Amino acid sequence: MSARLEPPRLVLLDRDGTLNRKPDEGDYITTVDQLELLPAAADAVRRLNDAGVPVAVVTNQRGVALGRLTRTQLGHVHAGLRACLDARGAQIDRIYYCPHDRGACRCRKPEPGLLERAGRDFGVPMAQAAMVGDADSDVEAGRRAGALTVQLVDDGTRSAADLTVPDLAAAVDLLLAR
């Protein structure tokens, strides 16, 4: 995948840890007040928008299956995310989420279901898409779907991703320079 030299036709972003601060393990963002964009995330999304690249969020939301938040609450959080980005001139084209528990479906990352659905909806083959996220499950989902994978990691962290960078801004720099 890393040999591809053109910018992707679709960028898929994980949510927690990629666009916004990740909650502590076992915690879930249940209100808009808990949502905090990461530095430069909105600018990175805006640069993809300006380049004409569709942007979709693909996120596991197991908290729904565990009863920690409802689909309605999750919808409010996602509306808040869109509003935060919109206030900074950035836009997410679609948000896809998996509300299921582990092992219950084919849409929960590292399964590729959400990514494949996004590709179909946007009419973009996964070989022309990029998956950007902070977790190994994001990388594995991208690999299984056939997308270029970019993992947000600290220096020296091992990764199976095609590309590794410290944050979303650096990921967008690399993707748009291809």
Q: Does residue 110 have a cis bond before it (omega within 30 degrees)? A: yes
From the list 1, 12, 3, 21, the residue with the least C-alpha distance to 172 is: 12
Asked if 138 is an active-site residue, the reply is no
Length of the chain: 178
Asked if 14 is an active-site residue, the reply is yes
SS3 134: coil
From the list 110, 107, 131, 100, the residue with the least C-alpha distance to 10 is: 131
Q: Sign of the C-alpha dihedral, residues 40, 46, 50, 53?
A: positive
Q: Are strands 94-98 and 10-13 parallel, antiparallel or unpaired?
A: unpaired
Q: Which of 14, 134, 138, 162 is catalytic?
A: 14
Q: Which of 16, 134, 138, 162 is catalytic?
A: 16
Contact 15, 34 (CB under 8 A): no
C-alpha separations of 170 from 70, 95, 151, 175, 177 in Å? 34, 22, 11, 9, 11
Catalytic positions, written as ranges: 14, 16
